[in-house]
């Protein structure tokens, strides 16, 4: 079997950033998958499921309510390796195009107060596995260390 594209990225060189992972043609439409890499693979500890789960709930809620992108959001969810998330948007985008959206999303998470949307037994299959404090900490870290002053090498996968 052929190795899938995401397994051909050199994870020893990959740093936190915003990357176009792939573009798929679906009928007349392009879907752009983004790698929202929050931690350095194989260098930093991975995110625990509780904070990653909380980030998933908050980011998905924010993105699906964003006035400009809500109709374009196909999916937001965690990577199995727990070093980041995937965002799939309807449309043909480059990484730099969504940096303002990611800043707004992670500011929403950093500043969130109250009950996490969907964090109830009725709404979620694992609602007790949430950690808002760590989700806010990781959102702030990602904003401060990556998004607010993102460099070109954090927008294109390493060679």
Q: Where are the domains of the chain?
A: 5-146
Nearest CA-CA partner of 93 in 16, 20, 6: 20
Q: Which pLDDT tens digit goes with each residue over 104-151?
A: 999 999 999 999 999 999 999 999 999 999 999 999 999 999 999 999
Taking residues 4-29, what's their average pLDDT? 92
Q: Which helix (H) or strand (E) holds 16?
A: none
The Cα 45–Cα 52 span in angstroms is 13
Residues 25-54 have a mean pLDDT of: 97
- Is it true that domain 5-146 has CATH number 3.30.1360.80? yes
CB distance 51 to 134 below 8 Å: yes
* Predicted confidence band of residue 7 (pLDDT cuts 50, 70, 90): confident
């Amino acid at each position: 079997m052929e190795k899938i594209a995401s397994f051909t990225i050199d994870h020893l060189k990959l740093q936190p950033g915003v990357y176009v992972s792939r573009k798929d043609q679906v009928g007349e439409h392009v879907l752009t998958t983004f790698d929202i890499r929050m931690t350095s693979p194989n260098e930093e500890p991975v995110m625990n499921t509780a904070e990653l789960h909380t980030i998933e709930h908050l980011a998905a809620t924010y993105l699906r309510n964003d006035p400009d992108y809500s109709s374009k959001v196909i999916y937001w969810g965690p990577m199995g390796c727990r070093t980041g998330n995937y965002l799939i948007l309807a449309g043909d985008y480059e990484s730099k195009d969504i940096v303002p959206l990611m800043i707004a999303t992670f500011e929403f998470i950093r500043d969130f107060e109250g009950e996490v949307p969907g964090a109830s037994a009725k709404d979620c299959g694992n609602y007790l596995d949430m950690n808002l404090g760590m989700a806010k900490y990781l959102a702030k870290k990602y904003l401060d260390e990556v998004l607010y002053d993102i460099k070109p090498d954090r927008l294109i996968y390493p060679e």
